[in-house]
């Protein structure tokens, strides 16, 4: 639970910082494409920071089987943040456009995380009535 809470907080922080940087540090026509990439990366990073927060909260009351699937979701969300958001950030700020091929893999990682979260909820999470 602590790992996912810390990862949620760190990624939320970075998403806000990158969004602010895009809004205030990438001004002018020359930075228009870069600004869009950073904004998109920050947007997806923030949503998935919140997903990591859900993983942290749910892990505290999950069965052992659910915790395994929540961990798959958490690691998938982190991989997606690194590959998708990180790829967009590097493309925007370093001009390394060759990472464009990595960004969709990050999107697939996000999808895998949501699928694992869905499976954990569908098959392994208990309801309050089922708790001992």
Mean pLDDT of the chain: 91
- CB 4, CB 52: distance < 8 Å: yes
User: 105 lies in which domain range?
Assistant: 2-130
Q: How much is the pTM?
A: 0.89
- Is residue 18 within 8 A of residue 89, CB to CB? The reply is yes
Into how many domains does the chain fold? 1
Q: How far apart are CA 61 and CA 47, in angstroms?
A: 22
Question: Residues 59-70: pLDDT tens digits?
Answer: 988 889 999 999
Q: What residues of the chain score a pLDDT lower than 70?
A: 126-132
Question: What pLDDT is recorded for position 40?
Answer: 96
């Amino acid at each position: 639970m602590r790992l996912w809470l810390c990862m949620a907080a760190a990624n939320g922080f970075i998403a806000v910082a990158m969004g602010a940087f895009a809004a205030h540090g990438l001004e002018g026509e020359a930075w228009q494409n870069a600004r869009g990439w950073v904004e998109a990366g920050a947007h997806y990073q923030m949503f998935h920071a919140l997903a990591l927060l859900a993983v942290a909260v749910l892990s505290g009351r999950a069965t052992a089987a659910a915790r395994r699937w929540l961990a798959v979701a958490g690691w998938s969300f982190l991989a997606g943040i690194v590959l998708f958001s990180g790829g967009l950030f590097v493309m925007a700020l370093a001009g390394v456009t060759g990472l464009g091929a990595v960004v969709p893999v990050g999107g697939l990682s996000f999808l895998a995380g949501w699928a694992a979260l869905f499976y954990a909820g569908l098959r392994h999470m208990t309801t309050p009535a089922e708790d001992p």
